[in-house]
Structure formats: C-alpha cells, structure tokens
Structure 1
Amino acid sequence: MLSRIFRAIAYLAIVLACLLQLAAANVEKEIFLGPPASTDPDVSLAGHLVPQLASSEHCSNCRAIRTRLNTSFVGKGVEHWVRVNGLEEGRRYEVRICWAATQPTDFTLDLFTPDQVLRDSALLEGILAYPQDGAVQEISGSKLYLRVLAKTAYVSSQKSRMENPEPVDVDIILDPYFLNVVPESLLKIIPIIVMVAVFAWWVGGWIHRALLDFAVKSAAAEKKHR
C-alpha cells in the first residue's frame, strides 16, 4: 500500500514540476487601461518608425517582439522604445518583459501617450534618437509608447564584462485582459490548473484514507499481539 502512495505522490510531483517550467524566466510588467485615441494629426509623426509589436503565439489578440537590448551599469540603464498600438479605449492590458534568469538585469517600464511625448522635449528627443524600424504596420486604435530602461544587475570578476555589459535577450508581450479580469494568455492554462487542482484534491483524499486505514490496521495488529 505504501508503494502505491509513494507512486501517487511521485506522479503529482512530476505534474507540478512540468508546470514550474512555465516560470523559468524573470518578468517585469505594467498593467494599464487603453487610452482614448489622440486627435492631434502631428502625434502620428512622433516615433512613427519606433519598433512595434507584432502578432504573437501567446494568444490570438496578443502582440510581442523578441529582441536584444543593450544594458549599462550607469544611471538607470540604457533607454529603449517600443510603440504599442491597436489599443481599445478602457480595456485592461498587461505589457510585460521576459528575460532569462541567467542574464541578470533590472528593467523599468514606463508608458506614455503620444500627447505626453510631444509635450516633453526629453521624451521626444529620446524617441527620435532611437534606431528606427522601417517595417511599420498601422493598426487601428489608440497607441502608447513604452520606454524600457535596462540596467545591468550582475557583478563579475572579469574586467571586460564589467566594462562592456552583455546585451540581454528579451520578449516584450502585450496581453489584453479577457473581460478586463484575466489575461487572455492564461485562458489556455486555466483548464490545466483546474485539472491539477482536482487531481491533487483526489490524490490528497486517497492518501489520507490510505494512511488512516494503514494506521487503524497497524493499531489493531499491535493490540492483537499484546
């Protein structure tokens, strides 16, 4: 009986270990509501060629970009810009940046409307000075500009690594919320979480009954031998 119990525990541990593989990276995120579309015709000229998000496999409405960002030990880090367009006014979104735990980096995410960019000369200069992307796809809806500050977060005994920090590979993902409650990318794994919870509840009850039965039989056997 004990072998069956240990086998059930092992199966549950394997399932949980598989799920933990989903969290094999660091994540920094911002949750926000889609802003109203700007009516200023000059807004579209600001950061028009800044890299933007494309269709993603994370969910049907998700968009993402996979890129390599330079980092620095100086100040708040290196400034990067991404254009986030196609937003619905009032809808909840989550924008997150994911990177490998083997590349220690501190990221700071800030979102700005086009109007804020045009009113702030420092932001506008930062966007216009950022390397331009010729592949532009216009998507209906409002837009925001995502500023990513990448600061190196490791210490190395190698002088070359300290003087020239290595770039970090990242995924930047825009994830809309379903009914403004849960990110759409989680809809695929919610059934898995439910099944694991039900399985764990069933296994836990079975183990409890088996151990209780084992204890009762052991106590009866011990009493019989007295």
Structure 2
Amino acid sequence: MAAKGLILLLFFSGLVSSNVEKTIFLAPEAREIAHDAVLLGRRLPVLTPSNWSLRTKIDAEFPTEGSSQGKVSWFFLDNLTEYQRYEVRICWAATQPTAFTLKTYEPSVAWEQPDLRASIERFVPNSQQQDIRTGVAEPTSDQPRISSALVLQVSAAADYFTKNATLMSNVPLVDVDVVLDPYILNVFPRSLLPNAACIVLVAIGSFFVSRWVIALIDGLLRADAALEKKQQ
C-alpha cells in the first residue's frame, strides 16, 4: 500500500507542475511622478514590497501581425527601494500553455509614449471589470509625488493548438500568480531564504552525521582488527 501511495503521489505531483517567467531589474532613483501618471498607475493592480503577491487572471490571445507577443496587461510596482535588485515572476499552470514577455518602464516614460499610454488606458477598464486591484487608494492631491516606482508590462500569447474550435477562437483567461521579490543584499531573492536556511541546516547536519558514521566505521574496523590479532 505504501508503494502504491508513493506512485500516486509522484503521478499527481506531475499534474500540478507549473511554469515561471521572470524579469530582474534594479529599482530606479526616486523621482517626481506626475499626478496624471500616478492616478492612472493607481488604477492598475499594485504590487509593493509589503504587498508582494497577487493571484489574478490575465487575458491572452494568439499572436498577430499587430501584436506578436499577445495580449498586454499592466501592473504598478510602487514603494520600491532605490537601486535594490528585484525580480517579478509570473507563475501559471502548465495546463494553460502561454508564452509571457515581461518589461518594465518608469511611469513618466510609459505616460509620455503614446503607444504605451494608449495600451495602459485600454487595459484599465479590463482590470476594473476583473476586480484584480489591490485596494490602494487613488491619490487625492494634485501635487506630484516622489517614489521609486515602475510599471510592468506583461504580454501573454496563447501557445497551443487544438482541434477544439472554441478554444482556438476564444482563448481562456490564464490563472497566474504575480510575485514581486526583492533581493537580499542584491544577491539572492528573499523568497529563497527558507530554502537557503534548509540547505545550510542539512549541510551542517550532514557534516556531523558523516563524522559520526566515519568514527563508527573506524571503531568497528579497529575492533575487528584487534579481535583478529587476538585470535592469532
């Protein structure tokens, strides 16, 4: 029964496998952000170092001549620490084949480029309909604010082929986790700290266990040698 349970566990663990796409960046210098850019950014799904994970659904579509990387979604990365290294990850189930492309822009750059601004404005009504905002209040002052912030562009292209006409004409929403992960000392992601601690503990434990095993084996060998010598 135990063997059957292990086989089932291994089988089902393969069924829940997932994919990950990420981008790594240094947080920009804190700059003045125009009120209009902040207002639009606050209407996007927001991620911050304290509110670092968001589970949502993302629109995807098959690549076209006008949109080779698929459907575009936008997120606002706020309250970053200047010059700290971060990574943003998109995690999704392997049962939803999708090709993701991630890019970051400073808010003023995205706001001043007509194509990016138009893309954000098109996405905002969709984000409100899907109710994936994080509840951050919109600014009430007309004064610019200073922050280290970025806007994240996520392009999602459907990456499958099927004889099912419905799935080919209507790409379903993709369930994703969007994660903002700061790097500790700009070296490794914060989310890896538990894994790193576990590895260190296992390494230390393995060291002492190996010394104990070596001492035990050495003692047995010495005892056998002494017994053999005594018998002679």
Shift in CA distance, 201/161, structure 1 to aligned 2, threshold 3 Å: farther
Task: Tell me whether 1:49 sits opposite 2:43 in the alignment.
Answer: yes
Equivalent residue for 1:31?
A: 24
What do the CA deviations read for 1:96-148 (whole angstroms, capped 9, x no partner)? Answer: 11111111100000100012112210001111221254732479831110010
Equivalent residue for 1:146?
A: 152
Shift in CA distance, 194/76, structure 1 to aligned 2, threshold 3 Å: same
The answer (yes or no) to whether the contact 1:66–1:171 under 8 Å persists in 2 is yes
The answer (yes or no) to whether the contact 1:175–1:185 under 8 Å persists in 2 is yes
- Alpha-carbon distance in structure 1 between the residues aligned to 2:22 and 2:112: 25
Could you tell me which runs of 5 or more consecutive residues in structure 2 were left unpaired when the two chains were aligned: 1-5, 139-144, 221-232
Match of 1:113 among 106, 124, 146: 106
TM-score, L = length of structure 2: 0.69
- Aligned residue pair count: 188
RMSD: 3.2
3-state secondary structure, aligned to 2:167: helix
1:169 aligned partner, one-letter code: D
- Alpha-carbon distance in structure 2 between the residues aligned to 1:158 and 1:99: 22
Match of 2:96 among 97, 100, 103: 103
Equivalent residue for 1:65?
A: 54
What do the CA deviations read for 1:33-53 (whole angstroms, capped 9, x no partner)? Answer: 111122243432343311112
- Alpha-carbon distance in structure 1 between the residues aligned to 2:75 and 2:98: 18
Task: Tell me whether 1:157 sits opposite 2:150 in the alignment.
Answer: no
**Taking every aligned residue pair, what percent have the same amino acid on both sides?**
39
- Alpha-carbon distance in structure 1 between the residues aligned to 2:47 and 2:177: 10
3-state secondary structure, aligned to 2:109: helix
Could you tell me which runs of 5 or more consecutive residues in structure 1 were left unpaired when the two chains were aligned: 1-12, 56-60, 214-226
- Alpha-carbon distance in structure 2 between the residues aligned to 1:193 and 1:24: 23
